[in-house]
């Protein structure tokens, strides 16, 4: 993997995780519009947001004790609505995403990463899926156009799990502490930002608007 200078000016490198609500909102709103209106590619890098989450995950009520879980859900519903994202569920379970991220690396090799990202985000945030459940992971692979058995095998394959660890190490070297984090060339834009913020960064990095 290259260093910070390896990202081309017409590529936005995005560090993201499937269980990050702000990543879901950003990818469904500002980033989608940016891809539609600018000539650039997205270099998506899976960043394991909560590597401390045990296999099987944790209840959100345990992660956010007392009334915090309900308050977090209410905040996220309002936040998503401000970005025009209406169809967003409120998962009550925080899964470990390591195996799903390993599958995303398999999908990258198969040329199906974008489809896999879409399917995994939809499963977690809109369909009540479990990113650790074998049947749900098979469903995500199927929706992404992947061989289900091969994709599920990749979830436990050391080659792909090592890549997941490597992505996180790469992000940390680049100064990433949370997601989503976008890199336009060497310039980071942190968090779920309005379209105008991303568009300004894209222009400064040399991306050109698409012609209509």
Question: Residue 69 has what pLDDT?
Answer: 82
Q: Are strands 187-190 and 41-46 parallel, antiparallel or unpaired?
A: unpaired
Q: Which percentage of the chain shows pLDDT scores above 70? A: 95
Q: What percent of the chain has pLDDT over 90?
A: 84
pLDDT at 7: 40
The structural domains of the chain, with segments of one domain joined by +, span: 4-204
Cβ neighbours of residue 52 closer than 8 Å, sequence gap 6 or more: none
Q: What is the CATH number of domain 4-204?
A: 3.40.30.10
**Main-chain phi, psi angles of 148, to 5 degrees:** -60, -45
| pLDDT beyond 70 at 74 | yes
Confidence (pLDDT) at 6: 41
Average pLDDT value for the chain: 93
- Per-residue pLDDT, averaged over 120-137, amounts to 97
Question: Residue 184: what pLDDT?
Answer: 96
pLDDT digits (tens, 9 = 90+) for 6-64: 444 489 999 999 999 999 999 999 999 999 999 999 999 999 999 999 999 999 888 78
pTM passes above 0.85: yes
pLDDT tens readout for residues 177-195: 999 999 999 999 999 999 9
**Distance of CA 66 to CAs 58, 72, 111, 124, 195, Å?**
15, 11, 43, 23, 34
Tell me the DSSP string of 89-142: ---SEE---HHHHHHHHHHHHTT-HHHHHHHHHHHHHTS---TT-HHHHHHHHH
pLDDT at 2 over 50: no
């Amino acid at each position: 993997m290259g260093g910070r200078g390896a990202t081309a000016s017409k590529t936005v490198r995005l560090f993201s995780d499937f269980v990050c609500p702000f990543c879901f909102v950003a990818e469904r709103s500002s980033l989608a519009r940016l891809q539609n209106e600018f000539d650039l590619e997205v270099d998506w890098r899976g960043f394991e947001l909560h590597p401390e989450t045990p296999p099987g995950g944790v209840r959100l009520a345990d992660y956010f004790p007392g009334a915090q879980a309900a308050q977090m859900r209410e905040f996220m519903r309002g936040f998503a609505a401000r970005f025009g994202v209406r169809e967003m569920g409120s998962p009550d379970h925080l899964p470990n995403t390591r195996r799903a991220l390993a599958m995303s690396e398999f999908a990258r090799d198969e040329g199906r990463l974008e489809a896999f990202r879409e399917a995994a985000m939809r499963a977690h945030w809109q369909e009540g899926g479990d990113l650790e459940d074998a049947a749900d992971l098979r469903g995500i692979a199927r929706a992404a156009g992947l061989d289900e058995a091969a994709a599920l095998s990749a979830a436990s394959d050391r080659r792909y799990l090592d890549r997941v660890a490597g992505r996180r190490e790469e992000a940390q070297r680049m100064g990433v502490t949370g997601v989503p984090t976008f890199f336009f060339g060497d310039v980071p834009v942190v968090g779920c930002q309005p379209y105008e913020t991303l568009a300004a960064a894209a222009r400064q990095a040399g991306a050109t608007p698409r012609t209509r």
